[in-house]
């Protein structure tokens, strides 16, 4: 079964876990630091610049934004971590909303952990990955902003990431960019196929 990504549409915005949609469809979660490119990825998946608003202010969005994916799955865009005043008890610097989300949401089928390839992983990135490893939630590592570097620099950074991040050798890793002039080289088509394969295997 394949998702028609051209049929992604906005579903709802949740300010509380009480507002989360029913868990009737497979759920894909976007997690990552503020300004890592989660909204840009939503737009790239749907082939539209208008699906998700791309904020220039890190940490501005503090709600969970849901999208319907061709009525076959739902996509949850979580608030970016790393800019909230989370207590030491909060996992990976989550906001209270994200912390509660992972506590109550049982039907998560896939987490896309976005990391900016241009920089060393932050403590929050490492904490989030450790959290995913500890819970056993299935995840893909998605390195963003690859269009800001040469192909050689991307390869070098991916090697650095593999040395400092604790992920399995068989983990699915994607390097993506917002390459609108040549979408086939953006890494997005491979990511789309992998999401469909993971949800409906």
Contact 86, 131 (CB under 8 A): no
Signed CA dihedral, 161, 163, 165, 171: sign only: positive
Contact 67, 11 (CB under 8 A): yes
The pair of structure tokens assigned to 200 is 């409906």
Domain spans of the chain?
5-199
For residue 90, the SS3 value is: coil
Contact 146, 175 (CB under 8 A): yes
pLDDT attached to residue 93: 45
CA gap 174, 161 in Å, rounded: 12
For residue 12, the SS3 value is: strand
| Cα–Cα nearest to 75, from 31, 118, 121, 36 | 31
Report the DSSP beta bridge partners of residue 69: 8, 73
CA gap 135, 113 in Å, rounded: 14
Q: What's the CATH architecture for 5-199?
A: 3-Layer(aba) Sandwich (3.40)
CA gap 65, 20 in Å, rounded: 10
Each residue's pLDDT expressed in tens, for the chain with a length of 201 residues:
789 999 999 999 999 999 999 989 999 999 999 889 999 999 999 988 888 876 544 444 578 999 999 999 999 999 988 544 444 444 444 578 888 999 999 999 999 999 999 999 998 899 999 999 999 999 999 999 999 899 899 999 999 999 889 887 778 999 999 766 666 668 999 999 999 999 998
The pTM is what?
0.89
Signed CA dihedral, 158, 46, 147, 123: sign only: negative
């Amino acid at each position: 079964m394949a998702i028609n990504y051209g049929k992604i549409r906005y579903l709802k915005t949740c300010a509380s876990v009480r507002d989360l949609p029913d868990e009737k469809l497979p759920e894909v979660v976007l997690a990552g630091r503020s300004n890592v490119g989660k909204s840009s990825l939503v737009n790239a998946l749907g082939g539209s610049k208008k699906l998700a608003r791309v904020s220039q202010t890190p940490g501005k969005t503090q709600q969970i934004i849901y999208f319907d994916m061709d009525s076959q799955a739902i996509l949850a865009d979580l608030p970016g971590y790393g800019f909230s005043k989370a207590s030491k008890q909060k996992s990976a610097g989550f906001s209270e909303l994200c912390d509660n989300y992972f506590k109550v949401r049982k039907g998560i089928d896939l987490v896309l952990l976005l990391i900016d390839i241009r920089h060393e992983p932050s403590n929050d990135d490492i904490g989030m990955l450790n959290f995913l490893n500890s819970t056993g939630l299935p995840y893909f590592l998605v390195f963003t902003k690859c269009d800001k570097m040469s192909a050689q620099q991307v390869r070098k950074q991916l090697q650095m990431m593999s040395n400092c991040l604790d992920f399995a050798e068989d983990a699915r890793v994607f390097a993506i960019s917002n390459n609108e002039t040549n979408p086939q080289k953006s890494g997005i088509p491979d990511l789309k196929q992998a999401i469909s394969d993971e949800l409906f295997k």
